[in-house]
Structure 1
Amino acid sequence: MTATGAALPVPDGLVEAFWEYERALMADDVATLDRLFADASTTLRGDANGLLVGHERISAFRSGRGGAPQRRIVQTHVQTIDADHALVVAVTELARGGRGQQTQLWARFADGWKVTAAHVSVPAPALDTRIWRVVGDPLVPGAATGPLTGESVAVKDLYAVAGHVIGAGNPSWEAEATVERGDAAVVSALVEAGAAVRGIARTDEFAYSLAGTNAHTGTPPNPKAPYRISGGSSSGSASAVSLGQATIGLGTDTGGSIRVPAAYQGLYGIRTTHDVVDRHGLLALAPTFDTVGWFTRSADLLALVGEVLLPDQSEPDGGLDLVVVPELLRLAENDVAAACDRWIADRGLVVRETWPLADLDLWVRAFSTWQAWEAWQVRAPFLQGRLDVLGPDVRARFENASQVTNAEAHAAYDVVVAARARIRELLGDRVLVLPSAPTTAPELGTGLADRLQATREATLRLTCLAGLGGLPAVSVPVSTTTGLPAGVCLVGAPDRDRALLQLAVTLA
């Protein structure tokens, strides 16, 4: 080590502790790494993904990441603060190429030297494959003039882009897919309006997830809630917008795949009235519920995209009355429900009423059963006999889907039809206000698979209402008291998408 700064010597034992840490890091020796980080709630570890505060969170991160990139130390420099504190800066060279830096603040404790704060930087990848499958500069240029000139689009990997395949989040499907000869209808409309296609963004496999944790390509980052999931299945499009790599994220929403990522990442998002936007060139999951949707970082741009993609729609007579059903609000965890309550209270224009929701559990089961049956009908020709090409969570879903009988499916469909009529009757021409998702984004780490299943079940109890009703829904970002993103969802009457978008602009 090279001492720098004031002429204070390198403290005894620091060099040995530093190299013990480095050996443990390369061996993924989590126990030793935990011992060499100060066991305190104030210990810090940061990188490009975000800041971890507290030894417990740092330890959980290490346990779940599967080891650090292999590297060697090129240089080390020490600034001794006093006999018990020192700053160590190391220049690293990664085995995959490129150089990084590691800055650590070390302190001497009774049982030896420990890191109290650290920051790690490594070369950014040329292409973050967690977010993107294909990118360009741009991939498809937009028209020279139009309402969306200057905007850029992340296209979910379910939409056709001419000259490319639809990858659908699954490598085996992608390898066998044929090159698309034309753009999906909505992609063409956005390009003609001036928006440039930045690239094709990742999705959960066949869009059959709400998490964004693709087993093949990884979890796109969530910059608003670091070290938490991004939300799916429109995860890549949402992360691209959240990170500022695109201004518009084109996605889909079947069971919540616009509303959930929007809530988890603090974005505006809309799922449109079923069938109001042309789905030509979109790979189906469950056609009864599949809808076109998009994300933006502002309500104004969300509405501007609607002016391009939505047909002319009749305006509601008078204003749009907002209604809250307390029983639905209570389906969210306390921090999310409180954030929604604050948003509602700040606007002071919401009526609270009780809805007869005794059949909600029946509706959720019918939604899931019919969705599963349709998903198997459209994907069985590819998946039959080779479900092992899927990641564990999506595979389990398709395995269950393959077991749904025609009788079970048709019984579920009868419930879906009845639920659609009942939900539309209860809503009328008003706007239902409820949480976009019942939780903030779950943390990555130990036990994630089990936690995600419970979260999915809780989420569908809220999101299925718009899906069953075939209704438009706009997610508006809010924050919990701890600063985590969440979403307030505005569910409108069918074919009132434009009015709902303008309401979101007004309320924003």
Structure 2
Amino acid sequence: MIATSSHDLSGSIVTSLNLAPTAQGRLDGLTFTVKDNIDIAEHRTSYGSPAWRASHLPPVENALCVDQLLAAGARCVGKVVADEFTYSLDGESQFFGTPRNAKAPDRIPGGSSSGSASSVGHALANFSICTDSGGSTRVPASLCGLWGMRPSLHRISEAGVLPFMPSVSTVGIIADSLSHLDSSMRVLLRSGSGQAHPIKRLLVLADALAVADNVVQEHAIKALETLSRRTGIPVQTVSFSEISDDAYQLKDCNLEALRDMQTLEFQNTVGNWIETTKPDLGFTFSMAYGNVQSFNRQKALESIVHCERLFELINAYLTPGTVICFPTTPVIAPMKGSLNTMDAVTDFYDRTMTITAFSGVGRLPEISAPLLSINGCPVGLSFAAAHYQDEFLLSAVHHLLA
């Protein structure tokens, strides 16, 4: 195991830093951490893998997104743990240790941005810059009771971010408050405060509720009813069959589209390096990578067509002024070490990615808000809007939750 800072009770810090702001701006006085698949000049990037870190030279420049934050007045205080090759949603790392879930210490933090959530949850930083493909920002934000946002695909520069799955991966933010999420995200989006547009429709995705545990469903419905009463905005229920004109079910966003697209691209971005380098691999990742190795690329090419069709259908339905809501994750954080059987892993991943793949294939901005608490464990309630409606979504969530 690679040692982290002796002063880091969260177990999230890979490298302690003190990178001063390069200018003043809207992030003056705020601190941030950086997921260890994002470059910091003169520091090797691990990608959650000691073998990757050892075989790659330190970058000369910061990732562009890091420079944006420094130039807006924020201070970088460290690089934080990422799941191995960021190919996980649980946050348990064989090599770097499992970062501590501040709100539920005996439970997993969620991944692959586990260190980002842990560092923010333990108040080591106001926010953390991380990444999201199948839910790697939203899942740890949900399970650790924090604010998290996946922006529209490619709204934020990925220069200096290690390759993963280009067709679905984004840079994201996990933050300790909506205010800090908003200010840091607007810097990365290169947007001003903008004019707030009215919310015309507030929807709840019935299929996402249906795959969640009963207690998560109940708490989500109560939270939305309270929100509706307070704002006077009615909540309408919609099924995915209505969104897709009966062409797809919600689970198809994962099973027929995002999952295969991820695997196809991972074979190119990381698989080739693994096959030629033969690095030491963690046990959990080795099991997942076995699926990559046995994958039939030709049969899976249809997933590219499905991804595009789902993108078109989802965004045609989410007309301007529409916000759609659903539980970020279908469960509270599982206990540490409990995802130790194939049944447990399959249940957690299949149900979670049934929900997270919706914004993935839709290329939607999505914000996970820490609104639900079940037996003392947090669960996020997500709000999403149409592709490239990031600023509208940020303003809408302020309006709904103010």
TM-score (norm 2): 0.90
Q: In the alignment, does 2:247 pair up with 1:355?
A: no
1:212 to 73, 91, 95: 91
Specify the alignment match of 2:265 in structure 1: 374
Output one character per residue of 1:457-501: Cα deviation in whole Å (capped at 9) or x when no partner: 110000001000111000001233422100111111111111211
2:297 to 394, 398, 406: 406
1:202 to 81, 88, 91: 81
Contact between 1:212 and 1:229, CA under 8 Å: does it hold in 2?
Answer: yes
1:440 to 332, 352, 367: 332
2:387 to 494, 497, 502: 494
Q: SS in structure 2 opposite 1:284?
A: coil
- Cα RMSD, aligned residues only: 2.0
1:368–1:317: structure 2 CA closer, same or farther, 3 Å change rule?
same
Q: Which moved more, 1:347-356 or 1:458-467?
A: 347-356
Q: Which has the higher contact order (CA 8 A, sep 6+)?
A: 2
Q: CA deviation at 1:217?
A: 1.4
| Residues in 2 aligned to 1:449 and 1:132: alpha-carbon distance in whole angstroms | 29
1:43-442 alignment, distance < 5 Å: 125-127=6-8, 130-136=11-17, 138=18, 140-143=19-22, 145-312=24-191, 318-348=198-228, 349=233, 350-356=235-241, 358-365=248-255, 366-384=257-275, 389-429=280-320, 430-442=322-334
Contact between 1:324 and 1:352, CA under 8 Å: does it hold in 2?
Answer: yes
Specify the alignment match of 1:456 in structure 2: 349
The letter of the residue matching 2:6 is P
Q: State the identity %.
A: 29
Contact between 1:129 and 1:217, CA under 8 Å: does it hold in 2?
Answer: no
| Residues in 1 aligned to 2:374 and 2:115: alpha-carbon distance in whole angstroms | 27
Gaps of 5+ in 2: none
| Residues in 2 aligned to 1:454 and 1:269: alpha-carbon distance in whole angstroms | 23
| Residues in 1 aligned to 2:35 and 2:337: alpha-carbon distance in whole angstroms | 26
Contact between 1:251 and 1:295, CA under 8 Å: does it hold in 2?
Answer: yes
Q: SS in structure 2 opposite 1:194?
A: coil
Specify the alignment match of 1:505 in structure 2: 398
Q: CA deviation at 1:427?
A: 2.2
Equivalenced residue count is 383
Q: CA deviation at 1:174?
A: 0.8
Q: Which moved more, 1:408-417 or 1:248-257?
A: 408-417
The letter of the residue matching 2:190 is P
| Residues in 1 aligned to 2:147 and 2:338: alpha-carbon distance in whole angstroms | 30
Q: CA deviation at 1:346?
A: 0.6
| Residues in 1 aligned to 2:207 and 2:258: alpha-carbon distance in whole angstroms | 20
Contact between 2:146 and 2:370, CA under 8 Å: does it hold in 1?
Answer: yes
Contact between 1:224 and 1:485, CA under 8 Å: does it hold in 2?
Answer: yes
Contact between 1:237 and 1:251, CA under 8 Å: does it hold in 2?
Answer: yes
| Residues in 1 aligned to 2:341 and 2:398: alpha-carbon distance in whole angstroms | 37
The letter of the residue matching 1:301 is H
TM-score (norm 1): 0.72
Which structure is larger by alpha-carbon Rg, 1 or 2?
A: 1
Q: Which moved more, 1:188-197 or 1:326-335?
A: 326-335
Q: CA deviation at 1:395?
A: 1.8
1:381–1:407: structure 2 CA closer, same or farther, 3 Å change rule?
closer
Q: Which moved more, 1:464-473 or 1:444-453?
A: 444-453
Q: Which moved more, 1:239-248 or 1:333-342?
A: 333-342
The letter of the residue matching 1:131 is S
Q: Which moved more, 1:419-428 or 1:460-469?
A: 419-428
Q: Which has the higher strand share?
A: 1
Q: CA deviation at 1:388?
A: 6.0
Q: CA deviation at 1:144?
A: 5.1
Gaps of 5+ in 1: 1-123
| Residues in 2 aligned to 1:406 and 1:444: alpha-carbon distance in whole angstroms | 34
Q: CA deviation at 1:373?
A: 1.1
| Residues in 1 aligned to 2:238 and 2:339: alpha-carbon distance in whole angstroms | 38
Output one character per residue of 1:48-98: Cα deviation in whole Å (capped at 9) or x when no partner: xxxxxxxxxxxxxxxxxxxxxxxxxxxxxxxxxxxxxxxxxxxxxxxxxxx
| Residues in 1 aligned to 2:287 and 2:31: alpha-carbon distance in whole angstroms | 36
Q: SS in structure 1 opposite 2:76?
A: strand
